[in-house]
Amino acid sequence: MSKLKIEDAMIRALELALNGPAKGVNPQVGAVILDSTGEILGEGFHKGSGTPHAEVVALGAALSGSQKLPSGSVAVVTLEPCNHTGKTGPCAQALIEAGVSKVVFASSDPGENSSGGANTLRAAGIEVESGMMSEKADEQLRVWLSSTKNQRPFVTLKWASSVDGRAAAEDGSSKWISGADSRADAHRRRSEVDAILVGTGTALIDDPELTARNTDGTLQESQPLRVVLGTRELPSNLRVFNSDAETVTIKTQSIHGALSELYERGVKHVLVEGGPTLASRFVQMDLVDEFVIYLAPKLLGGDKLAIGSIDVPSIDKAKGLVFKEVSKLGDDILIVAQPVREG
């Protein structure tokens, strides 16, 4: 097998991690086991909740029937090895029992129950190096890290609007503000999240399906949980209640309460597609972790804004954003941004 420097092994581990499911409770993690000369003994990635973690998969390949790894072996992992027993055992203990000499990981685990693997390894006399390529790993794990740290789903707020910020014309018509390329991108993003959330107002007025569809209108393989938030009664014949995907209604006005309920259901990433009232509330409460905005080359005027009041009394109180991506989608502009937060 090929021989790698530890930095190259981390690059390989980050590549392996992306083979795991992007959705779900558990993070995407990759692991590579090297001997003392840099030869790859084994590698692996996590295939999802209930399956062996990346370190255990890599150890299985590396041990190949043996009880212990060769002296001087190094485990290179994208996330700090876990230190708790859930559906599988603690990876830190598995590495100790396998006789690994050194563990190098990129991102630290912020989990209340799962963190502490590095300390356990050090206590067992194993050399530990943390933070290698952490910036890249943190970006790759950003949804899971944020959700785990904040104990709520990572929130993406999405809207499509004209250049002057209108989501609809004066008569209320809004199909279609954005072009076909933008709509295809929006459906792709739907397929990549755990849940999509709207308020009862949007459910009643727009009657959306909230499914992820291909350009020909067929359903994509992966569908988000459809969530309708609010206390108004909804007729059962709304399209959001069809059999194309699972739907839950959360009868509360509390956004914090709704996010807590979704987190308890295992939702790590929620896409908010509600109207301006719901969007404004999420922004006011500083609960948006990512903005996805499609700007169409149109002017509509009027008062049908994509987002309502967010309690910004003066320009010096404006809520700052960092543009992470600005690109063309057909005739439209896609902006992906993150809020500026202190600390």
Mean pLDDT of all residues belonging to the chain: 93
**Catalytic residue from among 7, 15, 43, 55:** 55
Which residues of the chain form CATH 3.40.430.10? 152-339
At residue 87, the pLDDT reads 66
Which residues of the chain form CATH 3.40.140.10? 6-141
Tell me whether residue 55 is one of the annotated catalytic residues.
yes
pLDDT at 245 over 90: yes
Contact present, 296 and 328 (Cβ < 8 Å)? no
HSE-up of residue 60 (Cα within 13 Å, Cβ side): 10
Percent of the chain at pLDDT > 90 equals 84
HSE-up of residue 61 (Cα within 13 Å, Cβ side): 19
Radius of gyration of the chain (CA): 23
Q: Rounded distance, CA 152 to CA 154, Å?
A: 7
Taking alpha carbons only, the member of 126, 58, 112 closest to residue 83 is 112
**Whole-prediction pTM:** 0.91
Describe the crossing of helices 54-63 and 6-17 by its angle, rounded to 10 degrees.
120
Describe the crossing of helices 54-63 and 91-98 by its angle, rounded to 10 degrees.
20
Q: What pLDDT, in 10s, does the model give residues 272-286?
A: 998 999 999 999 999
How do 321-329 and 247-250 pair as beta strands?
unpaired
Q: Rounded distance, CA 221 to CA 306, Å?
A: 30
Q: Which CATH number fits domain 152-339: 3.90.226.10, 3.30.360.10, 3.40.430.10, 3.30.465.10?
A: 3.40.430.10
Least confident of 76-90, 190-204, 205-219, 300-314: 76-90
Q: Domain 6-141 belongs to what topology?
A: Cytidine Deaminase; domain 2 (3.40.140)
Confidence band of 343 (pLDDT split at 50, 70, 90): low
